[in-house]
Amino acid sequence: TAFVSPYRNDRDRVRQWVESEGRTGDFIEVFVDTPLAVCESRDPKGLYKQARAGKIKNFTGISDPYESPSSPEIHINGELPVEELAEQVLTHLNKRLAC
């Protein structure tokens, strides 16, 4: 299951839970490291603009923080084309499955 989790503590708790269930290695944290300006330029719904105008509260990156992960399994450059990002994630996952 994929989750957008802006808080490091939340991600760490899920990792600990997965590992406590005996599934060490099954939690894969993917950090798509994307500058805020790129996020805003790729926003077809205009949510960032609404958040900047104060119409959306607690919006990650605008009025609420995003805490970067300290050691994600996958760290990719979010400025790359979406297709390339997906390919990088799939390549990593396929390598893990091959082990």
Give me the active site residues, please: 5
Please give the sequence-ordered ranges of beta strands (E in DSSP) within 1-99, or none if there are none.
30-33, 74-77
Nearest-angstrom CA–CA distance, 98 and 67:
31
φ, ψ at 30 (rounded to 5°): -110, 120
Per the listing, tokens 């390339």 go with: 84
Query: For residue 58, what are the CA distances in angstroms to 54, 62, 66, 93?
Result: 10, 8, 11, 32
